């Protein structure tokens, strides 16, 4: 865990501490239970940090359990990506890798026992009929006509279901609870449905699959989970979770505790919606750096320590709320500011000819690698007669308070010389093509022996000794804080930001960039934090902008 991450307390930790103090539990076991039906997102990261973090803090264990009870949408690709993501976040499940599908035999046996105890029955109502008969919270439901069949008949039918003698949807196994229960989820919920579909792990062994409600708590019990932490939408399911445990009476009794899911501004956080963005090629795959998936933020260059820090800082809530994306970016910047080395790159180049500088010389200057960390040392940056500066750093007619380059003004080139702009060269259409400047040889290294001060310092790159880079500049994928607010008949995709990706045409970086490995994070001075992207080849260096340098969060805190 990074030094920056201070463990904070929260209501779940309070419960755990009470359970340890009272002797209810001597060892804490939590679990992270993803359904392998898509890639994990930053909301899952919160859950991972919470469950693995608690296990770590209390010397317990955290299981990684694939909740793979729904064969239609689940794939091995997702299982692998999920494992990769959990590891990347810095957590280790050790030997505790489980699959709900490993418990199918046990779950079946328990279901048979429930039938024998008169607590489950085979029902031939369709899903629609079941839904209709369930009724609303205010009223009562209507009992299924199949509810009171004999134990023998139920056992026989359930076995036939298992043996594939029915078609999909022809019948289901339902718990026999109470059709007048005030909580509609307890009105004889479905436990098993028939799906003649191969499963990614059990193949064609089963054609009946348990529902989430029936499988989840029992899986927790099998694994001796002490605290089963989930998001608020399962709060109403808790009585059912407990009802099943009471019906089956496993040796171990896990406790379900809910917390509010993480929502982020400018972000959608549902696998279903993210899947749509991928399938419809709105983004370039699950790991598109604009995606809130863990694969996406990894490729974007977010450090895992920053994600853990963010997760800790936002704490735990019992009510839904939305966290500002600015805070996440702030955590990323704070982390990178301390560690990332500085380099120079010009994203939008304007050529400068230093007319009084010799043509055939390449001088090397020492530039500071990280002003936040002296031990990071310095590097050599080549300087030549022709350089590039950022277009934005020049104004023909300077605005008020513009202290960078303009005709007649002197500025410092970072780590090099003072230069003064004398001439503007334009093409026939009046566009500026280059600037002619002169340098003061006395200002070598970026300071003047006569104590002469300049107000502006700008970055630069040699026009002959550089690395061309393709810089991918990202903005939020959506242009509004809440992408789920759209007009009638519309879609969340109406809120997509058309400028979420800008690719530079001719950006140049200092030569030292060439040595950096894929995944290395650094700062392009004054431009932002960047990472070497996996599309980099020996011919082309591709960099992703992780975040800009403007910290909106920090600014808001100061106000
Ligand atoms: P989604 O709704 O995004 O499709 P899910 O809840 O269906 O996600 P699961 O694979 O079932 O995805 O989730 C695994 C775990 O991650 C669950 O315990 C779930 O509660 C938790 N989780 C999912 N989304 C969030 C979130 N936004 N914030 C915190 N925890 C989350
Ligand atoms: Mg789910």
Q: Can you say whether the dihedral through the CA atoms of 532, 467, 436, 350 is positive or negative?
A: negative
pLDDT for 454-482, tens place per residue?
999 999 999 999 999 999 999 999 999 99
Residue 32 alpha carbon to ligand 1 centre in Å: 9
Show me where the domains of the chain are located. 11-264, 345-466, 470-559
Per-residue confidence band for 6, with pLDDT thresholds at 50, 70 and 90: low
pLDDT for 525-537, tens place per residue?
999 999 999 999 9
Looking at ligand 1, which residue's alpha carbon is closest to its atom 25?
43
- Reply yes or no on whether the pLDDT at 554 is more than 90: no
- Reply yes or no on whether the pLDDT at 3 is more than 60: no
Decide if 142 contacts 250 (C-beta within 8 A). Answer: no
- Reply yes or no on whether the pLDDT at 185 is more than 60: yes
Distance CA 205, CA 223 (A): 23
Q: Do domains 11-264 and 470-559 have the same CATH topology?
A: no
Mean pLDDT of 240-262: 97
- DSSP line for 244-307: HHHHH--S---EEEEEPPEEETT----HHHHHHHHHTTSSSSTT-TTS-BHHHHHHHT--HHHH
Q: Which atom of ligand 1 is nearest to the CA of 41?
A: 3
175 pairs with which residues across the strands? Answer: 120
Residue (of 258, 269, 250, 207) closest to 234 by Cα position: 258
The CATH code for residues 470-559 is 2.40.240.10
Tokens 């590097």 -> residue: 379
Q: Which helix (H) or strand (E) holds 437?
A: strand 432-440
Ligand nearest the Cα of residue 35 is 1
Distance CA 476, CA 182 (A): 43
pLDDT for 82-111, tens place per residue?
999 999 999 999 999 999 999 999 999 999
Residue 353 alpha carbon to ligand 2 centre in Å: 60
Q: Which helix (H) or strand (E) holds 341?
A: strand 341-343
CATH architecture entry for 11-264: 3-Layer(aba) Sandwich (3.40)
Distance CA 236, CA 485 (A): 26
Alpha-carbon dihedral 212, 217, 221, 225, rounded to 10 degrees: 100
The residues, any chain, with a CB within 8 Å of residue 493's CB and separated by 6 or more, are 276, 277, 280, 282
- Reply yes or no on whether the pLDDT at 124 is more than 90: yes
Per-residue confidence band for 2, with pLDDT thresholds at 50, 70 and 90: very low
Per-residue confidence band for 388, with pLDDT thresholds at 50, 70 and 90: very high
> Candidates 31, 33, 44: which one to mutate for ligand 1, based on the most atoms within 8 Å of Cβ?
44
- Reply yes or no on whether the pLDDT at 1 is more than 70: no
CATH architecture entry for 345-466: Beta Barrel (2.40)
How confident is the model at residue 174, as a pLDDT? 98
Q: Which helix (H) or strand (E) holds 542?
A: strand 541-547
Q: Which atom of ligand 1 is nearest to the CA of 271?
A: 4
- Reply yes or no on whether the pLDDT at 370 is more than 50: yes
Residue 479 alpha carbon to ligand 1 centre in Å: 24
Tokens in use for 63? 């299981």
> Hey, is 394 helix, strand or coil?
strand
How confident is the model at residue 558, as a pLDDT? 77
64 pairs with which residues across the strands? Answer: 32, 97
- Pocket around ligand 1 at a 6 A CB cut-off: 33-35, 43-44, 46-47, 230-231, 261-262, 269-272
Residue (of 218, 158, 169, 176) closest to 193 by Cα position: 169
Within its chain, how far is the Cα of 107 from the centroid?
33
Mean pLDDT of 503-512: 95
Decide if 124 contacts 118 (C-beta within 8 A). Answer: no
Count Cβ neighbours within 10 Å for each residue of 190-227 and write b for 16 or more, e otherwise.
bbbbbbeeebbbbeeebbbbbbebbbbbbbbbbbbbbb
pLDDT for 125-180, tens place per residue?
999 999 999 999 999 999 999 999 999 999 999 999 999 999 999 999 999 999 99
Q: Which atom of ligand 1 is nearest to the CA of 46?
A: 29
Ligand nearest the Cα of residue 273 is 1
Mean pLDDT of 19-41: 97
Residue 82 alpha carbon to ligand 1 centre in Å: 12
Distance CA 51, CA 298 (A): 21
Tokens 């029902």 -> residue: 123
β-pair type (528-532, 255-259): unpaired
394 pairs with which residues across the strands? Answer: 405
The mean pLDDT value of the chain amounts to 96
Within its chain, how far is the Cα of 509 from the centroid?
29
Decide if 472 contacts 545 (C-beta within 8 A). Answer: yes
pLDDT for 261-317, tens place per residue?
999 999 999 999 999 999 999 999 999 999 999 999 999 999 999 999 999 999 998
- Reply yes or no on whether the pLDDT at 7 is more than 80: no
pLDDT for 187-230, tens place per residue?
999 999 999 999 999 999 999 999 999 999 999 999 999 999 99
Decide if 241 contacts 129 (C-beta within 8 A). Answer: no
Distance CA 376, CA 379 (A): 9
Known catalytic residues?
35, 261, 271
Q: Secondary structure of 517-536 in the HEC alphabet?
A: CCCCEEEECCCEEEEECCCC
How confident is the model at residue 350, as a pLDDT? 98
Decide if 267 contacts 478 (C-beta within 8 A). Answer: yes
Tokens 């899986």 -> residue: 219
Mean pLDDT of 316-334: 94
């Amino acid at each position: 865990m990074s030094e920056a991450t201070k463990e904070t307390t929260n209501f779940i930790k309070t419960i755990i501490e009470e359970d340890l103090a009272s002797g209810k539990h001597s060892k804490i076991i939590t679990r992270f239970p993803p359904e392998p039906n898509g890639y994990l997102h930053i909301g899952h990261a919160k859950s991972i940090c919470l469950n693995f973090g608690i296990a770590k803090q209390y010397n317990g264990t955290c299981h990684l359990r694939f909740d793979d009870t729904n064969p239609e949408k689940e794939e091995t690709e997702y299982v692998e990506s999920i494992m990769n993501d959990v590891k990347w976040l810095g957590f280790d499940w050790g030997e505790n890798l489980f699959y709900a599908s490993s418990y199918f035999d046990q779950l079946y046996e328990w279901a048979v026992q429930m039938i024998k105890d008169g607590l489950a029955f085979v029902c031939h109502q369709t899903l629609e009929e079941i839904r209709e008969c369930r009724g609303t919270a205010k009223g009562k439901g209507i009992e299924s006509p199949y509810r009171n069949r004999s134990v023998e008949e139920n056992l026989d039918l359930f076995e036939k279901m298992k043996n594939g003698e029915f078609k999909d949807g022809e019948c289901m196994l339902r718990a026999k609870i109470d059709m007048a229960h005030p909580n509609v989820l307890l009105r004889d919920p479905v436990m098993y449905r028939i799906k003649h579909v191969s499963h990614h792990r059990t193949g064609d062994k089963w054609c009946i699959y348990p529902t989430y409600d029936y499988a989840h708590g029992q899986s927790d019990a099998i694994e001796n989970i002490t605290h089963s932490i989930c998001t608020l939408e399962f709060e109403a399911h808790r009585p059912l979770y407990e009802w099943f445990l009471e019906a089956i009476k496993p040796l171990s009794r896990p406790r379900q505790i809910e917390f509010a899911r993480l929502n982020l501004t400018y972000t959608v956080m549902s696998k279903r919606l993210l899947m749509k963005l991928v399938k419809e090629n709105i983004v370039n795959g699950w790991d598109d750096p604009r995606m809130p998936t863990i694969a996406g933020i990894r490729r974007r260059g977010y450090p895992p320590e920053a994600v853990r820090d963010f997760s800790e800082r936002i704490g735990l809530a019992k009510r839904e709320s939305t966290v500002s994306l600015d805070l996440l970016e702030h955590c990323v910047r704070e982390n990178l500011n301390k560690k990332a080395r500085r380099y120079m790159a010009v994203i939008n180049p304007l050529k400068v000819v230093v007319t009084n500088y010799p043509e055939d010389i390449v001088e090397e200057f020492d530039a500071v690698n990280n002003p936040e960390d002296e031990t990071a040392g310095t590097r050599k940056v080549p300087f030549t007669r022709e350089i590039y500066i950022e277009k934005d750093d020049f104004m023909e007619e300077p605005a008020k308070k513009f202290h960078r380059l303009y005709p007649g003004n002197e500025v410092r080139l970072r780590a090099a010389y003072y230069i003064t702009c004398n001439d503007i060269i334009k093409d026939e259409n009046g566009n500026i093509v280059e600037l002619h400047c002169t340098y003061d040889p006395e200002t070598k290294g970026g300071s003047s022996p006569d104590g002469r001060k300049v107000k502006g310092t700008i970055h630069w790159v040699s026009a002959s000794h550089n690395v061309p880079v393709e810089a991918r500049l990202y903005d939020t994928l959506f242009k509004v804080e809440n992408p789920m607010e759209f007009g009638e008949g519309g879609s969340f995709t109406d809120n997509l930001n058309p400028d979420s990706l800008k690719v530079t045409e001719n950006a140049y970086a200092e030569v030292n960039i060439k040595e950096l490995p894929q995944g290395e994070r650094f700062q392009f001075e004054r431009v932002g934090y960047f990472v070497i992207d996996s599309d980099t080849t020996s011919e082309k260096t591709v960099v992703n902008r992780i975040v800009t340098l403007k910290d909106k969060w920090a600014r808001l805190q100061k106000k």
